[in-house]
Structure 1
Amino acid sequence: MLTTLLRDSRALGALAVPLILTQLAQVALTTTDTVMMGLLGTTELAAGGLAIVIFNQIRTMGVGLVTSVGNQIAAAAARAEQATTSADDDSTEDVRSIVRAGMAVATLAGVAGALVMVLIGQALPLLGQDADVVDLAQAMLYALAPGLLPCLWFQAIRQFTVGMRRPQALLQITLASIAVNAGLNWVLIHGTFGLPHLGLTGVGIATSSVYLLSFLALHLAAKRDGELAPLLTLDITRAEAATVKRLLSLGIPIAATYGSEAGFFSVTALMAGSFGPDALAAHTAVNQLVYIVFQVAVGLSHAASINVSRELALGNQDGARRIKNTALACAGTVMTLVGIVYLTLPRLVLAPFMESGSAEALSIATHLLMVTAFLQFFDCSQNIGVGLLRGLDDTKSGFRITLIGYWAIGLPAAWLFAYALGLDTVGIWLGLLTGLAATALLLLRRYDTALAATRTQPSHATA
């Protein structure tokens, strides 16, 4: 039993670890922003955190829309490898068609999302937030909005490179962007080298600039790759409507699932803001920590999803079932280690985010970490559950289940604990824990049921 688990863990880790490292490098961008905002003060951290929550909500849904590009590229590339010489050109053109359609979807989502961000910024005064926080958050949202378009272009090309199994440049570019982002943040926040002193707005401008530079760097790297260059085309005017429609039909359920979870966290951020800047600052800092650790779940989820598809293609339902247990075991090990650190060294963990924060904000954040030590088990499990279902070609159940777990169970629980029982911000996080736990249990149960049903169906493969 243990030997099998270790073998399966090594196989899962071979795919998951590179994905996790890339995800962590990407999250380092928003972590750098959060640290820089914390140095400006509690109000700036609260305002910047609110703006980033809104940006992440929209960005996450946009990423969901283009996620299926990687799967479609992988399938088309596999067909090209197996095609005869006479059909090879047609199969190669399929890849180009998907790339064009993916860029078209990214463009539509980027423009629409930027407009939505501006509208949300104008509506912030109506959402019960502190006036000083609103003013700063609006300015940062307006600075972040233009960065959404190159951010989604980057994601579309990223899916192309992953689908072609040539993602080598991703990690290097993402690591370089961390250093560039930190430097631009410092220069624009403090107005060095003769530039204006922009404060919190400078963080937004720096982030948008880094997204643009990252897109250009990844595009250049792909163009220098002999295998990728002939297939990479950005001419969205030639995108085929049928291909765009297919990507949207696959991507909308994924975006809805991502958006459901991100929206759940966005609403709780607004709830935290109703208890004042200290509460919102504490919520922002702890939420960023959760977001960092969550990338382990993302990597495990993607790897488990791909491995489930492979096992089912081979007609191996027992292997697919073991993948669930292996992914959850790996996640549980990591979450246990992280939880021990949270419970034993809370001030050390929070120091990078709250060095200039108030004592009250630090006290609230310390209590939130105690809840987070247990919450993250369910957060990781529910994301793995979504990935497992995706491996079964089931992208709709995840959305339906998150609606129940987050919105029908989690949000009412957060209101009950925070307002009715008077637990304030800690109550919000107890509601988050409740919603994530319910979602995880429902998703994993659905996976077991759906997997059992495949025994009576022909084996299939997913891209």
Structure 2
Amino acid sequence: MPAPQPTTLLRDGRALAALAVPLVLTQLAQVALTTTDTVMMGFLGARDLAAGGLAIVLFNQLRTMGVGLVTSVGNRIAAAAAREEEGDAPGTDADVAAVRGIARAGMAVATLAGLAGAVLMVLIGQALTWFGQDAEIADRARPMLVALAPGLLPCLWFQAIRQFTVGLRRPQALLRITVASVAVNAGLNWVLVHGTWGLPRLGLPGIGVATSAVHLLSFLALYAAARRDPVLAPRLSLNAAGADAATVRTLVGLGVPIAATYGSEAGFFSVTALMAGSFGSAALAAHTAVNQLVYIVFQVAVGLSHAASINVSRELALGRTDSARRLKNTALACAAVVMAVVAVIYLALPELVLCPFFDPGAAGDREALAIAGQLLFVIAVLQFFDCAQNIGVGLLRGLDDTRSGFRITLVGYWLVGLPAAWALGYAAGLHTLGIWLGLLAGLATTALLLLRRYGTALRARDIAAPAEAA
């Protein structure tokens, strides 16, 4: 296929950005939500910070996998909506009912995942000492987990409606609600932790109660916004009990590999953090700081990935394979521009980038700062592949091919990345630098395999289309 002309690339880029920009900003606002919780924990002391951080890690792991289960809702709705728009009489009762049925099934999946995750969270809290955690830290973390557990259900309800709005390409309310939730979360944290305005002083569990309350309020706000939207309202249904069993099975079949992919990636980075910790506190501190930088920039990749995925689902539903192929190039080009700007900042202003994490005047921070400065050179390259592999997963999701994405990430992360990190970090003696070079190798392998798989799948559709027509 010939390379797209600049005018075509610009037009496609604008169309992609219209959906991606609100999603990127929403992702960044969600990072701010977790950051606020972490800052509030720090005010309570080191032990509460450790216990609360442990609880948040467990909550985020289950939340991320739950989000994976409902992510395909957006793709299914995008395809159904595209077929509706192309029909002879778009907006008929049958068309609307098809989208409503997917939304209802998404709520059913979110409900099941939220209830199961909440129970699992409480059970894990009771078993923390079995996993080698300090007894005092475990005792402090358990009430926090109990407070966070009820919030998982409205959190996943919110995500189901989020996918519904994104699938219909009307995500505008998402950003407003998420930004507002950051301010509400900070206020509730302060009130419940310190017991102001006559409320009981809850301490660390107050942060969990505030977070659960914010998830509930965010869900209600997004639902209310959708009910006011003339396009979304007739197609939205929260009747999870009335969901079609076959549609639920389809969403679960697509969602389980996505959840496993998300969990695999999180586990890959968690293992490398343990490896970095084996080289001492300075190495772990440098690893943590750089990992946070990667995580922030990663939100750009998440937004682009979701937007590209939704648009691929739409284009394929309309039989436009060439447009779906072009979307890959557009998404990668947009990602490359953003990543290049970030890389220049990393390399030109390393002290400014790292100053939020370290105090150059503190003796204990100097070694960590020196290690982190080296790692900036690696992540300047790594983030290109990190973004590309996330876009690749989204593109395959647009094909309803979630299993290939999972299999490829297993190969890239665990069969290439982790052994490379061990070999370079330990055997070659490069320590933390070697671990991040291993991460780079794993992400690069994953990105290349995912994008190749996407191209192969589209070529297979091109071959199959004439045969089916005949």
Q: Normalised by the size of structure 1, how large is the TM-score?
A: 0.85
Aligned ranges 1:29-178 → 2 under 5 Å: 29-38=33-42, 44-78=48-82, 88-128=92-132, 134-178=138-182
State the 1:265 CA deviation.
2.4
Q: Secondary structure of 2:238's partner?
A: coil
- Structure 2 CA distance for aligned equivalents of residues 142 and 7 of structure 1: 49
Q: Tell me by how many angstroms 1:377 deviates.
A: 1.6
Residues 303/219 of structure 1: CA separation in 2 closer, same or farther (3 Å cut) = closer
Q: CA 1:424 to 1:50, structure 2 compared with 1: closer, same or farther past 3 Å?
A: farther
CA distance in 1, matches of 2:209, 2:366: 28
Select between 309-318 and 439-448 the one with higher mean Cα deviation: 309-318
Distance in 2 of aligned mates of 1:137 and 1:181: 19
Tell me if the contact between 2:37 and 2:189 (Cα under 8 Å) persists in the aligned partners. yes
- Distance in 2 of aligned mates of 1:313 and 1:91: 14
1:446 maps to which residue?
453
Contact kept in structure 1, 2:26 and 2:178, CA below 8 Å: yes
String of CA shifts for 1:91-134, please: whole Å, max 9, x gaps.
33333332222111101101111222233334443445566655
Q: In the TM superposition, what are the counterparts of 1:263-342 in structure 2 within 5 Å?
A: 263-272=267-276, 283-310=287-314, 312=316, 319-342=323-346
Structure 1 contact 36–185 (Cα < 8 Å) conserved: yes
Q: Structure 1: 5+ residue runs without aligned partners?
A: none
Task: Give the paired residue count.
Answer: 460
Over 3 Å counting, the alpha-carbon distance change for 1:274 and 1:86 in structure 2 is: closer
What is the CA–CA distance in structure 1 between the aligned matches of 2:246 and 2:84, rounded to whole Å?
Answer: 20
| 1:349 equivalent in structure 2 | 353
Q: Which of 208, 211, 217 is the aligned partner of 2:212? A: 208
State the match for 1:409 in structure 2: 416
Cα distance, 1:273 vs structure 2: 5.6
CA deviation profile, 1:62-92 (whole Å, cap 9, x unmatched): 1111112223333444555566789933333
**Could you tell me which amino acid in structure 1 is paired with residue 464 of structure 2?**
Q
Equivalent-residue separation in structure 1 for 2:190 and 2:272 (angstroms): 30
The equivalent residue for 2:264 is: 260
CA contact (8 A) 1:103 1:236 kept: yes
Stretch deviating more after TM superposition (178-187 or 133-142): 133-142
Q: 1:383 aligns with which of 379, 383, 390?
A: 390
SS at match of 1:18: helix
Q: Provide, for residues 311-335 of structure 1, a one-character-per-residue CA deviation record: whole Å limited to 9, x for no partner.
A: 5566665544443233222212212
Q: Which residue of 1 aligns with 2:399?
A: 392
- Secondary structure of the corresponding residue to residue 458 of structure 1: helix
Written as runs of structure 1 = structure 2, the 5 A alignment for 1:174-189 is 174-189=178-193
Residues 39-73 of structure 1, C-alpha deviation per residue, up to 9 Å, x if partnerless? 55665555444433332221111111111222333
CA distance in 2, matches of 1:336, 1:86: 42
Structure 1 residue 165: Cα displacement = 3.4
**How large is the Cα RMSD of the aligned pairs?**
3.5
Quote the offset at 1:29 in angstroms. Answer: 1.2
Deviation string, structure 1 residues 415-460 (Cα, Å, up to 9, x no partner): 4445555655554433322321221121122223333333312189
Match of 2:437 among 402, 427, 430: 430
Q: Partners of 1:119 and 1:28 in 2: how far apart?
A: 28
Deviation at 1:148, TM superposition (A): 1.0
Opposite residue 174 of structure 2, the aligned amino acid is L
Residues in 1 aligned to 2:93 and 2:143: alpha-carbon distance in whole angstroms: 49
Query: 1:306: how far off?
Result: 3.6
Residues 219, 37 of structure 1: alpha-carbon distance in 2 compared, 3 angstrom cutoff: same
Which of 241, 244, 251 does residue 247 from structure 1 map onto?
251
Q: Distance in 2 between matches of 1:13 and 1:127?
A: 44
The CA deviation at 1:24 is 2.0
Which residue pairs with 1:24 in the alignment? 28
Percent identity, aligned pairs only, is 73
Q: Could you tell me whether the CA contact under 8 Å between 1:402 and 1:439 is conserved in 2?
A: yes
Determine whether 1:456 maps to 2:449: no
124-133 vs 167-176, greater mean Cα deviation: 124-133
Q: Counterparts of 2:50 and 2:80 in 1: how far apart (Å)? A: 46
How many Å apart are 1:257 and its aligned residue? 1.9
Of 13, 36, 45, 1:9 maps to 13
8 Å CA contact 1:73–1:163 kept in 2: the answer is yes
Q: 1:166 to 1:381 in 2, by over 3 A?
A: closer
Tell me if the contact between 1:34 and 1:285 (Cα under 8 Å) persists in the aligned partners. no
Residue equivalent to 2:368:
364
Normalising to structure 2: TM-score of the pair?
0.84
What CA distance in whole angstroms lies between the structure 2 residues aligned with 1:4 and 1:89? 36
Distance in 2 separating the partners of 1:150 and 1:213: 8
The CA deviation at 1:155 is: 0.7
Q: Is the 8 A contact 2:411 2:446 kept in 1?
A: yes
Counterpart of 2:59 in structure 1: which amino acid?
A: F
Q: More deviation in 29-38 or 79-88?
A: 79-88
Q: Secondary structure at the match of 1:454?
A: helix
Instruction: Tell me the amino acid that sits aligned with residue 294 of structure 2.
Output: V
Query: 1:233 is paired with a residue of what secondary structure?
Result: coil
Task: Confirm or deny: 8 A CA contact 1:22 1:170 kept in the other structure.
Answer: yes
Higher alpha-carbon deviation: 384-393 or 60-69: 384-393
Tell me the secondary structure at the aligned position of residue 465 of structure 2. coil
The alpha carbon displacement at 1:153 in A equals 0.6
Assess if the C-alpha contact under 8 Å between 1:65 and 1:247 holds in 2: yes
Range with bigger deviation, 362-371 or 92-101: 362-371
Pairing 1:237–2:241 present: yes
Classify 1:162/1:310 alpha carbon distance in 2 versus 1 (closer, same or farther; 3 Å).
closer
**Residues 66 and 39 from structure 1, CA distance in 2 versus in 1: closer, same or farther, beyond 3 angstroms?**
same
The one-letter code matched in structure 2 to 1:202 is G
Q: Aligned AA for 2:264?
A: S
In 2, Cα distance between the equivalents of 1:362 and 1:124?
Answer: 34
1-structure distance, mates of 2:285, 2:209: 21
1:331-373 per-residue CA deviation (whole Å, 9 max, x = no partner) reads 1221222223334444543454568x98646753663452433
| Contact 1:278–1:358 under 8 Å retained in 2 | no
CA contact (8 A) 1:150 1:212 kept: yes
Q: Give the direction of change, closer, same or farther, for the CA distance of 1:168–1:376 in structure 2 (3 Å limit).
A: same
Structure 1 88/324 Cα, relative in aligned 2: closer, same or farther at 3 Å?
closer
Task: Provide closer, same or farther for how the CA distance between residues 424 and 110 of structure 1 changes in structure 2, counting only shifts above 3 A.
Answer: farther
